[in-house]
Structure 1
Amino acid sequence: MTQGRKEKSRKEVLKLPPIDAHKPKVERRPASRRGLRGMERIYELAQPKDSKCIWLTSFGPNMSWGNQEPMWPIAQATLNANSTTRLVSLSEPKKNFQERLNRPEFVNSCGRGSVILEVSPGATKASASERVSTLAGHKQPPQAFKEDRPEHTFSCGRESPIWLVNEAAKRAPDRERIESLAQTKALHRNFLPAREIETKVTKAAMSTSATPRLEMLSRPKSRPEGPFRDSMWPVSKSARHATATPRQMELAKTKSVSDGYLPARTIQWPVSKAARKAMATPRTDELSRPIIRATMDHVQFNPDAFIVSEAAKKARCPPRIEELAQPIQR
């Protein structure tokens, strides 16, 4: 009976639909896989994947990829047809007008041919003509160009005037204060550099032997093997009839809240009728008015934004500011 079931299931797997001119060849699988065991299951798994489109909605003929066969068979009349005069003329290769020159061609990735010529010795020793020298010259600035312009325009449209430094300022000697400010920040007197990651072990430490005290300390902690007390033990009658003392009752009380404690307020609460009918005072109206500032058009394109006054250029630092500018002595 088991052999008969195997043969029946094998026939169901190998069963094919009738061949039709409009239907591709599709193998049918059993509706249920519970009856497949052993070789029948392996044979069912070895079948190729079925197409998800049926013959009514499939597009094109049933074809397998990877071979050189055409999608549709070529008619015999097409195979025996002769080419026309136009096709013969179009099939002729392009005429080579440089038959005497054998130039190597290197094809780029896009498929275009790039001809690379070898430079002749005469071209390497030739001198450039006047026209070539003129074309090789760099672009000249216009006549109205000024190299040292007093104003430099930023991308935001604001202009910052940069004035020239006179010769007296360039030749002025350095003051003691300027030299002290120009000094780099010194390290703290207690500063220690970073320690190396690797520590060198001395030969004495490598050849030494452990003392009895170190050997005793290196031993693992010894614990008794047992027997230990059971997880359940009898409780005495006096312990069962004992009563808690006043101190124990006081300690057993939960912690109470402090005097004056108010619980958390609810998220929603009713608004009183007086609050709904209240009117704002003139002072509240005055404070609620927004601050009116100048527009960015006037602030951003201010031509005098970076101009330093003459008094600020000639100002001298007072002794108090010089005292505050001194670095902290550590």
Structure 2
Amino acid sequence: MAADVGVRGKPLYSLDKEDEEGEFERIRQSGRERLMELSRPKDIKIGYFTNVGPNVMWGTQEMLWPLNPNIQKASERVEQLATPKKDFSTVDSKGRPLFLYSCGRPSQIWDAPPRTQQEASQRVQLLANPKAFHSGYKEDRSQFFYSCGRNSPIWTVTQGAKSAGERPRTNQLATHRNPVREFQPARQIETIIPGPALSASASERLQTLATPKNRSEGPFRDPKWPVTPAAKNASAKARSQELARPKGTTDGYMLPKDEMWPISKAAKRATASGRVGELSKPVVRASMDHVQFNPDAFVVKETALKGVIPKRVFDLANPSSR
């Protein structure tokens, strides 16, 4: 479906080429050849004279120029550098799998080499002895009661503690804390109505206030009523005419232009001059594919290849001795 811009910015849609040609023919016959010309889409300005070199698609791995087969042969040093690095993501440097160090697995007991399988020295045996308790330490109760996963023990209460009497201090500590003075208990959800309120009867005053307002059913006044001849023949006073006068505009005020104004036939049939046609021609520029491409970007000049490093540059290139 082709879409062209018509009069007042409205698009002209056509289903096929014949309908489009018919639409343009109708516009041309109506004297709007200039509008038909402006409604056509802009053409691409890349021609054969701006297309320099091969058609390059940037971002691909294709070479611009064919390479020499001798250059494609890699040396031993290049092959050594091209060797991929060894993957240590699954095993360590000694070839042991890394899952042995993962969370939740027991510690691995490695096999000791034969040269280390010998008796421990006297110093190692001394360091391996556990730390002894203090000489004055007395174990009051078994330690397994406080170990992880065991219940708290039930202590045996003496008969004297069971038959002990109450003390004023104990009763004071056992008393619960009183609420603040501003504390109000929660109210009941349902409001309890007393019996006299349920059996009460409305007074005469309440009956009067509960009576609805009486409104007459008619007849009402007609929306149109006759006007007297004196009111019809009355004339406005000078003061009323002065107040009824609309506010005037300021000096230099101009009325707004209409949204549409007629176009003269001379303007419709006008043709562009030679100078205007020359200025309307677009500037032809090279495409971005060839502007950014420079085949001599990595070419070294012959004078640079035959150049000699000055003595000053050679002295500055030497590392500083410390």
TM range (shorter): under 0.3
The normalised TM-score by structure 2 is 0.23
The normalised TM-score by structure 1 is 0.22
User: Which of the two has higher C-alpha Rg?
Assistant: 2
Specify which structure has the bigger relative contact order, considering alpha-carbon pairs within 8 angstroms and separated by 6 or more residues. 2
